[in-house]
Structure 1
Amino acid sequence: MNRWYLVCVLLVFLVVNNSDVFGQQDKTMAISPFQNHVFKGGKYNPLGNLKWAFKTKGKIFSSPIVDRGIVYIGSEDGYLYAIEEKTGKLHWKFQTGGAVHSSPAIFKNMVYIGSFDGYYYAIDTKTGNLKWKFKTGGEQWSGEKSFLGMKPVDMYMEDLWDFFLSTPVINSEGKEPRIFFGSSDGNVYALNANTGELRWKFKTNGSIHCSPVLNKKTLYIGSWDANLYAIDIETGKERWKFETGTQTGFKGIESSVAVADGMVYFGARDPFLFAVNAETGKLFWKYDAAYSWILSSAVVVDGVVYVGTSDTFLLLGLDAKSGKEVFKFKANGYIYSSPAIMGETAYFGDFTGDFFAVHIKDSNKESSVFSTEGRKEFAPDILNNNLIDFSYAAKGADLSMYDVNKTIMDQFYKLGSIVSSPFIANNTVYFGSADGNCYAIELKE
C-alpha cells in the first residue's frame, strides 16, 4: 500500500570527499557524508563477503564516514562509535545524553556530531575526549496533533518517518574554520569549528533535520517549513529561498541537496525532485515522484541525477538537464538511504533490510544484494511477496490509529531497515541498519 493511499485513508477516517576508494583522505580535508556521495572507481563492483558487523544497542539511522583507518557512526543508544576499519573492533565510544541520529563530520583531528540531547559535540578523534559542545534550542522529533489525520485527534504524535538530525558540514577556508548545521529549533547555526563559538544563526519557520551542503560560499539547506534556503556563509543572510508544496502529508524537506554545473537538485515530501538555479533559486525543472516522498539525497554523476523514492521503491536516474528518466531500479521497500556512486555502481539500502549494488550503466540492471539477518528471519511474516505493504502488515488493524502505524513501523524495523547512507573506503562499503549493526562489506573487483 503506498503512502498516498495511506494518507487518504487517514484523512478520511566533503569540503567534497574525492578520495580514491583504495586510499585515505587527506588529513586536512573536511569530510561530511552528505557533502558528496561520489567515490572514484571505474567498473561495476558487486558486493562480496561480509567483512565484519559491529553491534550497538540501538537502531542506526546515522551514516558512517571513514578516516585514517577508523569508521565513525552514531547510534540511537546515545553513543558515537569509533570502530577500527580493518577489524571491526571498538576503538573508542563517546556517550551523549540522547539518540545520535546525526551523522559525523570530520575536520583535522575533530569529529562533529549532533544528539537528541540538544547538543552538538566536537570530539578528539584520537582519544574520544570532548573538545567542546554547543547547546541548541533543543532537538526533537517532528510531529503535531493528529499527525496525517490519525486518531485520537487530540493526541500529539511524533512523525514516524522523521529519521535524522542535521549533519554538520565544515568550511576550512577563510580566517577560521566554520561548522554549519541545522536544528529542531528552526535555526541554522554557524560556529567556530575549533572553539564552538557562535558566529551567526539563521531562523526558519520549521525544524531542520536535513544536512547542509556548502558550495561557493553558499550554504543550501531545507526546513520542515517546506522551503529550501540559500544562505551566505559569511554573513548568515538569506540569498534566496525556494518554496515546495505544503499540503497535508506532503510537506517538508528532509533530504540534502546536490550541486552540479550551476544547479541545485533536491527532493521533498511534496512529492517532487527539483532542479533550481544555484545563483537565483529559479525553478529549472521538477520531476513528479508519483506521490512518493523523496527523503533520499540526490547524487549527480556524468549528467545524471540519482535519487531514491519512498512508495514506488525506486532508485531513479534522471537527466540533469531535462529531468527525464534515463534509469530506474526497483527495490523491495522505501529507499530513504542516499546512494553512493562509485564508477558504474550505485550502492544503497531499502527499508526491508536489503542492501544493493546496482550496475547503473547496464540496461539489464545487473545487481547484487546483501540481506540483514533480521530480514532473512522476519521477511516471510512481515513482507507481502517480499515487498513492504502497510495494509498487509496491519493484518486488519485500523490504520487510522496512530498506535497501529507505530506498531507496524516497529515490525518493519525488525527487518533491519536501512536508512543510513553508505560510505566507501579501501574497497569496502559501510552502512548502518535499524538492527543496530554497522556493516562492512567487501567489494568484488
Structure 2
Amino acid sequence: MKLSSLALFLLFPSAVFSQYKGFGPVKWSSPVGGKIFTAPVLHDKQVIIGSAAGNLQALDTATGRAIWQASAFGPVVAQPLLDNHTLYFGTYNGYYAVDARNGKHLWHFKTGGEQRIGGKGLYTMQPDSLYMEDQYDLYLSAPATDNKNVYFGSSDHHIYALDKHSGKLRWKYKTNGPVHGGVATSNGIIIAGSWDTYIYALNADNGQVRWKFKTDEDAKYHHILEGIQATPLVYNNTIYLGTRDTKLYALDLQTGKEKWHWDAGDPWIVGSAVAKDGHIYVGTSDSYLLVDLDAATGKEYYNNKGGGYVFGAPTLAGNTLLYGDFTGRLFMLNTADGKVLDTLDMPGRRQHAGTVLNSAGLIDFMHNAGKADPALFQTTVNFMEQLYQLGPITSAPVVTNGVAYIGSADGHLYAIPLR
C-alpha cells in the first residue's frame, strides 16, 4: 500500500463492502468548546477531535464520553494526522506531536508565525486602510509523514521537514507565499501547494526541488482567484490538487507535467479530492457541487448541487459518498450515479435556515447583506457570523463500524449511524 493511500485510510476509514441507504438517528453528540474545522481521527476505541477553542479531545466512540483532553495552545485548524500512536497537528502557535493514547505532549515546533491570509484592503474590500483577514482561509497546512520525518507548510512561506520522533528540524524550503495547503508524500517526494500559486515537488531527504508547477494568477479580480488550500491526492502516480484558481489539476508525480485540468468556472476548489476505481471526487465552493471525474481524462460523470460551499473532502463508505457543506447539511450519495440517498441537517440549520439562507435554500451573500454595503469588510464578517449559525461542516466525515463521526462549526462532534 502506498503511503498516500495509507494516510487516506487512517483519516477516512470506512466499511468498504457495506451497502448503506441512509442516516440513522444521531447516536450521540459531544460539545468540544469551539468551532470544529478539521476531521476527527480514530485511534483504537477513541475518536480524537481538535477545535478552535485550542484543545484536542479524545472521546469514547461508543458513548462520546471524554477520555482525555490536551491543550493545543491555539486553535486546531490543521488536519491532525495519526502515525502509530502519535498524533501530529498544527495550530496558530506552531506544530505539535502528542501521544494519542493519553494526550501527553511529545514535542512542539515553533515556526516563523502562523496566521490567516490578510492585508490592507484585501481583495479591494473597504476601507482600504484597514488590515483584513481572509474569512474563508480556515485551515493551516495538514502534515504528512514517512518512516523518518513529518512534513508541513507554514504561513512563514516555508515547507518543513522535522524528525518525527524529536521534532528537530531536518530541512526547510522557502516558497514565495504562505503554505496553508496540506502536504502529501509518495515515493520519496513531498508535494505541497503555496499561496504563491506554485505546486512544489521536493526531495524528501533534503528538500531540493524536483519540479514546480504554476497555477493561474488573478489580476482581474485582485487575487481573489488564486492560492492553494487543499491537500494533494496521489493516486496511480498522479497528483490531483484543486486550487482557488477554480481548477482541479492532474499532474504527473515524477515530472509535474499537466495531464489535464477540470475547470469549475468561478468557484474555488478548497477541499481535497478522494479516489476510487478510476474516479475522482471533489467539491466546489460557490457552485455548491460535489463532482465525479474520470481520473484519466477529467471527464465529468455527474455532480450533485447542494445549497452551500463544499470545503471538506468527501468520504467513501461502502456504496456511498458522504460529505457535508457550509449550510450544515450532510449528504449521502450513491457512488455509482450520484443519486442523493439521504441528507441529515445539523441543529443550527434546522433552526436558522429560514432566515440565513435565501428562499431557494442557498447561501446568498446579497440576501444576507441586505441594505449593508457589500464592499465593506464588516459586511463579509457579519455574513460569515450568520453562516456559522447553521453549523457548517467543513471537514470530512470519518466512518468505522457503520458509524459516521462528523465535526461541525457549531462546536459539536456527532456520531451518526449509517443504515
The TM tier, using the shorter chain, reads over 0.9
- Given the alignment, which residue of 245, 249, 259 partners 2:224? 249
The answer for the alignment partner of 1:322 in structure 2 is 297
**Structure 1: how far apart are the matches of 2:381 and 2:144?**
32
Note the C-alpha offset of 1:38: 7.1
Q: Is the 8 A contact 1:120 1:134 kept in 2?
A: yes
Give the Cα separation in 1 of the matches to 2:34 and 2:167.
28
> Is residue 195 of structure 2 the alignment partner of residue 224 of structure 1?
yes
Match of 1:249, SS state, is coil
Moved more, 409-418 or 96-105: 96-105
How many residue pairs get aligned? The number is: 413
CA contact (8 A) 1:37 1:339 kept: no
Whether the aligned pair in 2 keeps the contact of 1:210 and 1:222 (CA below 8 Å) is yes
Seq. identity, %: 39
2:96 is the counterpart of 1:96 = no
TM-score (norm 1): 0.89
Equivalent AA in structure 1 for residue 22 of structure 2:
P
Distance 1:145 1:323 in 2: 38
Report the secondary structure of 1:239's partner residue.
strand
Q: What is the match of residue 235 of structure 1?
A: 206
Amino acid at match of 1:129: K
Alignment partner of 1:378: what SS? helix
Q: What value does the CA root-mean-square deviation take over the aligned residues?
A: 1.7
Q: Which runs of 4+ in 1 moved over 4 A?
A: 29-32, 36-39
- Tell me the residue number matched to 2:352: 378
- 1:239-388 matches, cutoff 5 A: 239-247=210-218, 248-362=223-337, 365-384=339-358, 385-388=360-363
- 1:41-65 Cα offsets, whole Å, 9 max, x none, are 3534522221211112211101111
Q: Is residue 56 of structure 1 aligned with residue 32 of structure 2?
A: yes
The verdict on how the C-alpha distance between 1:39 and 1:85 changes in structure 2, with shifts beyond 3 A counting, is: same
CA contact (8 A) 2:10 2:42 kept: no
State yes or no: 1:15 paired with 2:3.
yes
- Report what 1:6 is aligned to: none
Structure 1 counterpart SS, 2:27? strand
**Partner of 2:368 in structure 1?**
393
Residue 423 in structure 1 maps to residue 387 in structure 2? no
Counterpart Cα distance in 1 of 2:276 and 2:269: 19
The structural deviation recorded for 1:300 is 1.5
Q: Are the equivalent residues in 2 in contact too, given 1:142–1:159 (CA < 8 A)?
A: yes
Is 2:43–2:100's contact at 8 Å kept on the other side of the alignment?
Answer: no
- Counterpart residue identity of residue 227, structure 1: Y
Output the CA distance in 2 between the equivalents of 1:39 and 1:400. Answer: 47
* Deviations, residues 245-267 of structure 1 (Å, cap 9, x unaligned): 11021010101111112211111
Which ranges in structure 2 are unaligned for 5 or more consecutive residues? none
TM-score (norm 2): 0.95
CA distance in 2 between partners of 1:159 and 1:293 (Å) = 14
Task: Give the Cα separation in 2 of the matches to 1:30 and 1:62.
Answer: 14
Q: Secondary structure at the match of 1:410?
A: helix
Structure 1 residues without counterparts, runs of 5 or longer = 1-13, 19-28
Greater mean alpha carbon deviation, residues 151-160 or residues 45-54: 45-54
Matches of 2:59 and 2:9, distance apart in 1: 17
- 1:161 pairs, out of 121, 136, 154, with 136
Pair 31,366 (structure 1): closer, same or farther in 2 beyond 3 Å: closer
One-letter amino acid of the structure 2 residue matched with residue 72 of structure 1? I
Of residues 253-262 and 398-407 in structure 1, the stretch that sits farther from structure 2 once superposed is 253-262
Q: Secondary structure at the match of 1:377?
A: helix
Counterpart of 1:24 in structure 2 is none
Q: 1:199 aligns with which of 156, 160, 170?
A: 170
Alpha-carbon distance, 1:127 to partner: 2.2
